[in-house]
């Protein structure tokens, strides 16, 4: 859930999402810690964020995460809590997910939609005993809050009971990779082997009460930990004391999520793309498909039955890497789409990309052409994720 603003390159991997402006940047509580670890900081969505560290370059950091475990500072993400007896009814006006049926302690990926069915943002929603815990993108924070508050005021004026609180006293760390659970287990008494992927609960980490969610954005097993901000440096240091754990920046996070077939808001998702076009039909629960009731339902639900004109696909691209905004053609030379993300895959040692193409050309093994630097290169539609996911199941 990263947001694109511009693009820079470091080494052989693209680094997306960085503006060139450096004034008035916000800093996470780990800013000084990042500098002490040799981080290269860049402007990102209004924040100064680490893109890579002195210990590992982007490529090495990516591979380390796939094989061991890495810590990502994701404190720039927007954390909110929705309370009140009508909180589920309210949030289901704005997102496509079946939050009512979400079991206690379970989370789901969903999307905020607009009146036209376009995606305002993607978000993770966790069902807690007295609230909904919501995490959404840093680059969309202002518009998300404006959107939610506008509809919340109308909901309250009609007698609905719901309240929104920004969680601004907690930071957010992600530890990702096949050795993430073992590293975290050393610091907690709770048995992490009993936690499925996309579940979360309060856990004490060396005496510090944290919300620990088994989730992430890399395709690997891992956790996102909401930590009282005064304690976040201590917990980062404790996790980093494990020899299998390294710090990782947004550069590796981007290539990891792309290999995992996960969308980047601002590239692969925007307000003109519906969940059906984006391949996110699965986020719309059976009850929601029957009842509707969310913004843009009158546009989205018919698309499930009747289909759409364009579809998000994965591509394996020969030749030079296809970044975003490369034109896609069929074998007859007809332009049928555009790439939205692309990177040389460190795991596969092939160039992978996402694109939106005309329906009919979205099936696996369809041969296409991508125009990169005015040269036509062969591309093959490929099922995503490009690299098999390793999400944990009990």
pLDDT of residue 24: 87
DSSP character string of 71-139: EEE-TTSEEEEEESTTHHHHHHHHBSS--TTPPTTBEEEEEEE-TTS-EEEEEEEEE-SS-EEEEE-GG
Cβ atoms within 10 Å, residue 249:
28
**pTM for the whole thing?**
0.93
- Separation between Cα atoms, residue 125 and residue 102, nearest integer Å: 9
Q: Tell me the two tokens of residue 312.
A: 């998000």
Domain with CATH 3.30.1360.120 in the chain: 19-308
pLDDT at 22 (0 to 100): 53
Helix (H, G, I), strand (E, B) or coil at 220: coil
Q: Can you give the pLDDT at residue 211?
A: 98
Residues of the chain with CATH 2.40.30.110: 309-387
* Angle at CA of residue 165, ends 163 and 166, nearest 5°: 155
Report d(CA 149, CA 154) in Å as an integer.
9
Residue 60, judged by CB atoms within 10 A of its CB (0-12, 13-18, 19+), counts as: middle
Compute the C-alpha angle 308/314/316, nearest 5°: 145
Cβ atoms of 310 and 277 within 8 Å: the answer is yes
Annotated ligand binding at 115? The verdict is no
Q: Report which of 312, 281, 249 is spatially closest to residue 38, judged by C-alpha positions.
A: 249
Q: 315 near 370, Cβ under 8 Å? A: yes
Q: What is the mean pLDDT of each run of 10 residues along the chain (394 residues)?
A: 34 42 83 98 97 96 98 98 98 98 98 98 98 98 98 98 98 98 98 98 98 98 98 98 98 98 98 98 97 98 98 98 98 97 98 98 98 97 98 96
What's the pLDDT score for residue 75? 98
Residues in a beta bridge with 348: none
* CATH class as words, domain 19-308: alpha beta
Distances (CA, A) of 389 to 44, 48, 72, 197, 362: 27, 30, 18, 12, 22
| Cα gap 122→291, rounded to integer Å | 21
CA 49 to CA 66: how far, in whole Å?
Answer: 22
Pair of tokens at residue 147: 């959107």
CA distance 264 to 144: 16
Per-residue pLDDT, 13: 41
Among candidates 253, 323, 265, 259, which has minimal Cα distance to 53?
253
Buried b (16+ CB within 10 A) or exposed e, 263-274: bbbbbbbeeebb
Q: Are 201 and 186 in contact, with CB atoms under 8 Å apart?
A: no
User: What would the pLDDT profile of 219-232 be if each residue is shown by its tens digit?
Assistant: 999 999 999 999 99
Question: Given 2.40.30.110, 3.30.1330.10, 3.40.50.300, 3.40.1350.10, which CATH number is that of 309-387?
Answer: 2.40.30.110
């Amino acid at each position: 859930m990263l947001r694109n603003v511009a693009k820079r390159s470091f080494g052989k991997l693209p680094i997306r999402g960085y503006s060139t402006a450096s004034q008035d940047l916000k800093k996470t509580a780990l800013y000084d810690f990042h500098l002490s670890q040799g981080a290269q900081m860049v402007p990102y969505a209004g924040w100064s964020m680490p893109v890579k560290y002195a210990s590992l370059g982007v490529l090495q950091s990516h591979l380390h995460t796939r094989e061991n475990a890495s810590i990502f500072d994701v404190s720039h993400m927007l954390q909110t809590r929705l309370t009140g007896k009508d909180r589920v009814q309210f949030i289901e006006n704005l997102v496509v997910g079946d939050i009512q049926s979400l079991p206690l302690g379970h989370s789901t990926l969903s999307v905020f939609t607009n009146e036209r069915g376009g995606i305002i943002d993607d978000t993770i929603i966790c069902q807690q005993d007295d609230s909904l815990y919501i995490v959404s993108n840093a680059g969309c924070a202002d518009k998300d809050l404006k959107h939610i508050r506008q509809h919340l005021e109308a909901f309250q004026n009609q007698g609905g009971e719901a309240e929104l609180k920004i969680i601004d006293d907690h930071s957010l760390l992600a530890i990702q990779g096949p050795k993430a659970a073992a590293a975290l287990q050393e610091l907690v008494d709770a048995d992490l082997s009993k936690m499925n992927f996309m579940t979360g609960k309060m856990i004490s980490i060396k005496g510090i009460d944290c919300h620990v969610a088994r989730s992430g954005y890399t395709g690997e097993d891992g956790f996102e930990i909401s930590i009282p901000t005064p304690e976040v440096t201590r917990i980062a240091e404790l996790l980093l004391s494990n020899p299998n754990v390294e710090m990782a920046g947004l550069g590796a996070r981007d290539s990891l999520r792309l290999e995992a077939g996960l969308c980047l808001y601002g590239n692969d998702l925007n307000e003109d793309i519906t969940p059906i076009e984006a391949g996110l039909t699965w986020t719309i629960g059976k009850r929601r498909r029957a009842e509707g009731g969310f913004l843009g339902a009158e546009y989205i639900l018919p698309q499930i039955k009747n289909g759409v004109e364009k579809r998000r696909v994965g591509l394996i691209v020969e030749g030079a890497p296809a970044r975003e905004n490369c034109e896609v053609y069929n074998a007859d030379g007809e332009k049928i789409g555009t790439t939205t993300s692309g990177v040389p895959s460190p795991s596969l040692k092939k160039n992978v990309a996402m694109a939106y193409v005309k329906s009919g050309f979205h099936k696996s093994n369809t041969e296409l052409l991508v125009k990169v630097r005015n040269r036509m290169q062969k591309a093959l539609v490929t099922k995503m994720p490009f690299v098999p996911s390793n999400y944990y199941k009990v």
